[in-house]
Structures are given as structure tokens and as C-alpha cells.
Structure 1
Amino acid sequence: MTSDPRLASMSPDELRRTMRALGYRTQGQLAEAIGVSRSAVSLWLEGKVGVPRPVAMLLRMLLSAQRRSY
């Protein structure tokens, strides 16, 4: 069985890069866009809590869709 990288969690660095690529400049902007608290985003960016897999998948799909639209 092969491991699909889209199903993995997301490192703080990948989350930061993805946020910027999607145009979110603040933790609050990202939090509002995906329906979580700003403090959750802060914990993910600090690496204190892992990014939930469904959130990581959503962000990767949004990034992929954005890249295809250009």
C-alpha cells in the first residue's frame, strides 16, 4: 500500500508556505476562512499541535486548485 502524501499532516513550515500562497497574511484570516479559532492556527504554526489531517487535505486541495486556475 502506498502512502499518499496528500493524506499526511502538515509541518508548521508547510502550513506557513501554504497560507502565504493562498493569500492569507494573518492567522486570523486563515482561521476565519477554514472555520477554526485563531489560537488553533497559532498552535499549529508553533508546532505545539499537529495540523489535523482534514485541514491539511483541505489546504492542499485549495492550493492545487489555485495553481490550476492560473
Structure 2
Amino acid sequence: MSPEELRAAMRTLGYRTQADVASAIGVNRSTVSLWLDGKVGVPRPVAMLLRILVSAQRRAH
């Protein structure tokens, strides 16, 4: 998952801050910051979870 895709998922899911998404998935805010800066890749299970949530969100609307 690219930083851009992560930002899009955050918007779609209504997460306004790094802290919001970090709290929702159980990681530190600094971890989300590293993902958004592209310094560390988003782990595959986290990316899969976010993609599933985005898909479910889109189907609900």
C-alpha cells in the first residue's frame, strides 16, 4: 500500500488524523507517520484490513 493509497483509505474511512487511524488499528501514531512518509511500508495484513474496510464502506453507501 502506497502512502497515497493509505491517505485515500484514511479519508474514505473518516480518519482525520494519524492518531485516529493508529488508534483504530492498534499501532503508534509515529508508525502511521512512517507509513505516510514512505519510510516504512504498510504491513500486508494492515493494508489488507484497510482495503477490506474501504470496500465495505463503499458498498454501504
TM-score calculated relative to the size of structure 2:
0.97
Q: Which runs of 5+ in 2 are unaligned?
A: none
The structure having more radius of gyration, on CA atoms, is: 1
Give the 4+ runs in structure 1 shifted more than 3 A: none
Deviations 1:13-59 (A, max 9, x none): 00011101110000000000001110000000000000000000000
Equivalent in the alignment of 1:39:
30
TM-score calculated relative to the size of structure 1:
0.85
The 5 Å alignment of 1:1-70 reads 10-70=1-61
CA RMSD of aligned residues (A): 0.4
Q: Which runs of 5+ in 1 are unaligned?
A: 1-9
Q: Number of residues paired by the alignment?
A: 61
Instruction: Pick the structure with more helix per residue.
Output: 2
